[in-house]
Structure 1
Amino acid sequence: MVALELRHLRYLIAVAERGNFTRAAEDLHISQPTLSQQIRQLERAVGVQLLDRTGRTVQLTDAGAVYTEHARRALRDLDAAERAVHDVQDLSRGHLRLGVTPTFTAYLIGPLVAELHTRFPGIGLTLTETTQDRIEAALLADDLDLGVAFAGAHPAGITATPLFTETLSLVVGGSRTPEPPKALSVQALQAQQLALLSGDFATRGHIDAYFAEHRIEPRITVEANTIQALTEIVQRTSVATVLPDAITHDHPHLVPVPLDPPLPARTVTLLDRRGAYRSAAARAFTRLTHDIVRVRGYTPAPAARGYMDVEARRP
């Protein structure tokens, strides 16, 4: 009987993902005949056909689908075990894989990474900016340790810890005055040219829902897929945008104008996979995140206040 090895599992997963032996072999840097031989060894070892090779693409059989699901889980757990063995509790070294949705790179990630580097210079960071659904999928696949996104419906297996409440306002270019601007009626937005984030941003969906609720048809003259593009446009034109208030704190030439009624606040959360191994680096980053929320004066989310009170009482 052929002894199973980890490579057999990885080979099966590669073929399942590609649906083709040739492309899978290229990804694995082995020959196609070698890959076919290895898969047949695996099928003989488990005593069942795992792949249907009769169609134009290679498909998993019912048994193959079940086996592949368990193979993915086994490899994920082995990877986590390897990280746990090499985890250094004194934080003299380590690595963190963090995913964030795009708006947070404009105001939150800079202070977080700066503080992480100051406190723990030996910890490396892999930062991925992507959509919330991809962050959640990467957490479930053990490709990320933590994510920063928003509260709401999450896939099974994702845990969301509230961090703070994010508010949004209309943003125009100009200089700050001692007196904050008066609130602008939502109906007045129909006469205002707007530059907004593109439709693949969660923030844009939040803004569109607000417009729809109040039956507003906005004059959207610019759509952009970066925060920086919006801030540059607003500072140099009469076009306005809608952004989180926290972004304007670091931009003296951006003026937040409250809307009446205001846009609904959102709860920012720290995401992880339920039951996943939490490295010393991940635990330290979690504590650091709550510290930054407090120091920068963000409004704590209700469930986060209890955490911060407990941390404040720690010796």
Structure 2
Amino acid sequence: MILRHIRYLLAVAEYRNFTRAADSLHISQPALSQQIRQLENEIGGQLFDRSGRVVRLTDFGSAYIDYARRALLDLDAGQRALHDVRDLSRGRLRLAFTPTFTEYLVAPAIERFHSTYPNIAIEMTELSLEAIEGGLSEDRIDLAIGFTDIRSDDIEAEALFQERMTLIVSDSHPVAEQGVAVVPSQLATLPLALLSGQFMSRFYVDSYFESQGIKPNVAMQANSISAVLKIVRRGIVATLLPSALQYEHRDLKYIALEPRFPARTVALLRRKGAYQTATAAAFSATLRALLETGALSSLSAE
């Protein structure tokens, strides 16, 4: 009853029309009107102004609706909790991660998790850190891999390891075997293939250039990490990406920079106070085990 009333309330507020809201809910318009009036009677105030051509929230309704949205998130989570099978013989994991983790962290973690819990359906989404924060806050994601430098107070971060950007080249690139770190004056001369500005890692690269007084030779940009790496493998250009890529891309050379990039802390992200599904808890444990004693343990040692 509570869940249905809240869904009806939010539909009318979205469509600002009882007929269109009723169509979206697959009920009749009179039934929807009756349910909204019943809700208004129960909470003791008028939620909608029905006097104009467009239905509008009253001041009373505007004050109530934000709480109703948050309640719906919790009620939906409660429904998932009722169906959550603690022995993990079935279930669903909604996992999100920022793009660079696709290239070295996600695959081994998912492989281990799936081999242990083969009947868990995994929904993976590659998102920006900002989109991840929104997805967690709106309960569209159970768990995410991102960074501790988040902006939302609704998200909690569990630190995992430090990630640092470095220079990456092919084994045929002129600096591949030079044996010493690349300094700013040399970095400024190298043709670079970089990720485009939509990536947060590009912001950190540009900040490093600025801090070192470098005017970079950006030969090309791409909105795909795999595309950048394919270009780098041709031996013409270098790139700046996380040094941890060496765990999946061993054919490339990883050249130290002096001074080094500031480190960022990789973290598991979840909504504060939200119900944690058994699948999310199991994935978190799987990832921690890989970082503590498993195939990814060297990441934590860096």
TM-score scaled by length of structure 2: 0.87
Provide closer, same or farther for how the CA distance between residues 239 and 78 of structure 1 changes in structure 2, counting only shifts above 3 A.
Answer: same
1:174-213 correspondence to structure 2 within 5 Å: 174=171, 181-213=179-211
Does 2:217 correspond to 1:240?
Answer: no
**CA distances 1:80-124 after superposition (whole Å, capped 9, x unpaired):** 222222222222222111111111111111101100111111211
Offset of 1:300 from its aligned partner?
2.6
1:149-188 correspondence to structure 2 within 5 Å: 149-174=146-171, 181-188=179-186
Offset of 1:45 from its aligned partner?
4.5
Counterpart AA for 2:98: T
- Secondary structure, counterpart of 1:229 in structure 2: helix
Does 2:226 correspond to 1:228?
Answer: yes
Offset of 1:18 from its aligned partner?
5.1
In structure 2, how many angstroms separate the alpha carbons of the residues matched to 1:206 and 1:62? 44
Q: Which residue of 1 aligns with 2:80?
A: 83
Pick aligned residue for 1:66 from 47, 63, 68: 63
Provide closer, same or farther for how the CA distance between residues 245 and 31 of structure 1 changes in structure 2, counting only shifts above 3 A.
Answer: farther
Provide closer, same or farther for how the CA distance between residues 135 and 55 of structure 1 changes in structure 2, counting only shifts above 3 A.
Answer: farther
Q: Which residue of 2 aligns with 1:297?
A: 297
Provide closer, same or farther for how the CA distance between residues 40 and 189 of structure 1 changes in structure 2, counting only shifts above 3 A.
Answer: farther
Does 2:141 correspond to 1:144?
Answer: yes
Q: How many residues align?
A: 299
Q: Which residue of 1 aligns with 2:5?
A: 8
Q: Which residue of 2 aligns with 1:104?
A: 101
In structure 2, how many angstroms separate the alpha carbons of the residues matched to 1:301 and 1:94? 33
Provide closer, same or farther for how the CA distance between residues 58 and 210 of structure 1 changes in structure 2, counting only shifts above 3 A.
Answer: farther
Q: Which residue of 1 aligns with 2:261?
A: 263
Counterpart AA for 2:80: R
- Secondary structure, counterpart of 2:233 in structure 1: helix
Offset of 1:168 from its aligned partner?
1.3
Is the deviation greater in 214-223 or in 94-103? Answer: 214-223
**CA distances 1:13-37 after superposition (whole Å, capped 9, x unpaired):** 2343455667655654557776566
In structure 2, how many angstroms separate the alpha carbons of the residues matched to 1:239 and 1:34? 65
Counterpart AA for 1:69: D
Offset of 1:290 from its aligned partner?
0.9
In structure 1, how many angstroms separate the alpha carbons of the residues matched to 2:298 and 2:153? 29
Offset of 1:151 from its aligned partner?
1.1
Is the deviation greater in 60-69 or in 127-136? Answer: 60-69
Provide closer, same or farther for how the CA distance between residues 56 and 114 of structure 1 changes in structure 2, counting only shifts above 3 A.
Answer: farther
Offset of 1:215 from its aligned partner?
2.0
Pick aligned residue for 1:130 from 118, 127, 137: 127
Provide closer, same or farther for how the CA distance between residues 116 and 49 of structure 1 changes in structure 2, counting only shifts above 3 A.
Answer: same
Provide closer, same or farther for how the CA distance between residues 51 and 133 of structure 1 changes in structure 2, counting only shifts above 3 A.
Answer: farther
What do you get for the CA RMSD once the two structures are aligned?
Answer: 2.9
Tell me if the contact between 2:172 and 2:235 (Cα under 8 Å) persists in the aligned partners: no
1:268-279 correspondence to structure 2 within 5 Å: 268-279=266-277
Does 2:288 correspond to 1:286?
Answer: no
**CA distances 1:259-309 after superposition (whole Å, capped 9, x unpaired):** 11111111100011122112221111111111122322344389xxxxxxx
In structure 1, how many angstroms separate the alpha carbons of the residues matched to 2:268 and 2:107? 16
Is the deviation greater in 244-253 or in 177-186? Answer: 177-186
Is the deviation greater in 20-29 or in 252-261? Answer: 20-29
- Secondary structure, counterpart of 1:184 in structure 2: coil
In structure 2, how many angstroms separate the alpha carbons of the residues matched to 1:56 and 1:165? 57
Provide closer, same or farther for how the CA distance between residues 60 and 156 of structure 1 changes in structure 2, counting only shifts above 3 A.
Answer: farther
Pick aligned residue for 2:112 from 115, 122, 126: 115
In structure 1, how many angstroms separate the alpha carbons of the residues matched to 2:270 and 2:101? 17
- Secondary structure, counterpart of 1:200 in structure 2: coil
Provide closer, same or farther for how the CA distance between residues 178 and 218 of structure 1 changes in structure 2, counting only shifts above 3 A.
Answer: closer
Provide closer, same or farther for how the CA distance between residues 92 and 21 of structure 1 changes in structure 2, counting only shifts above 3 A.
Answer: same
Is the deviation greater in 101-110 or in 153-162? Answer: 153-162
Gaps of 5+ in 1: 303-315
Offset of 1:193 from its aligned partner?
1.8
% identical equivalent positions: 48
Counterpart AA for 1:113: I
In structure 1, how many angstroms separate the alpha carbons of the residues matched to 2:270 and 2:176? 42
